[in-house]
Amino acid sequence: MVTRRALLAAGAGTLLTACGPRDEPATSRQDVLDEQLKVTNAAVAAGAPRARARAAKLEAAGAKAPAGSGPSGLDHAYEAEGRALTSYVQAIGASRADRDLYGELVADAAAGKSELARELKIDPLPSAFPGEPK
């Protein structure tokens, strides 16, 4: 026969195990913003034409990151826009406070990547879910 005390003890044990530390440390809003500016600055350095305006939006939101560096050109800009797009999509889930901002960045990066794809004469939408990690 199960007593009320046994049920209470089992419930308390379950509650305590659920209150432990998270497996993944929480990411701060600032860390997410800074990471998004970092990938955006890489797109700026690669020559993505729309990236500079996105960098300005992120800086206005308080993001800080060094200027990007690396090779430039249409191919590099296309790849950098793809990395930025993927990063923005992931940031939507990581920072509830800035979802509207990241939504705007996703739309702009997708448009920028599509424009670069047209210039490179490649399919601008090879996936039905742009920005999704592969």
Residue 127 placed within a domain: no
Q: Which domain range does residue 99 map to?
A: 27-120
Give the pair of three-digit tokens for residue 34: 């800074």
Q: What is the pLDDT of residues 34-79, one digit of tens each?
A: 999 999 999 999 999 999 999 999 999 999 999 999 999 999 999 9
* pLDDT bucket at 9, cuts 50 / 70 / 90: low
* Nearest Cα residue to 77 out of 53, 104, 42: 42
Residue 79 placed within a domain: yes
Name the domain count of the chain: 1
CATH number where 79 lies: 1.20.58
Residue 125 placed within a domain: no
Contact 57, 101 (CB under 8 A): yes
Instruction: Give the angle subtended at the CA of 18 by the CAs of 17 and 22, to the nearest 5°.
Output: 105
Q: What is the pLDDT of residues 87-97, one digit of tens each?
A: 999 999 898 88
Contact 53, 25 (CB under 8 A): no
Give the pair of three-digit tokens for residue 48: 């993505």
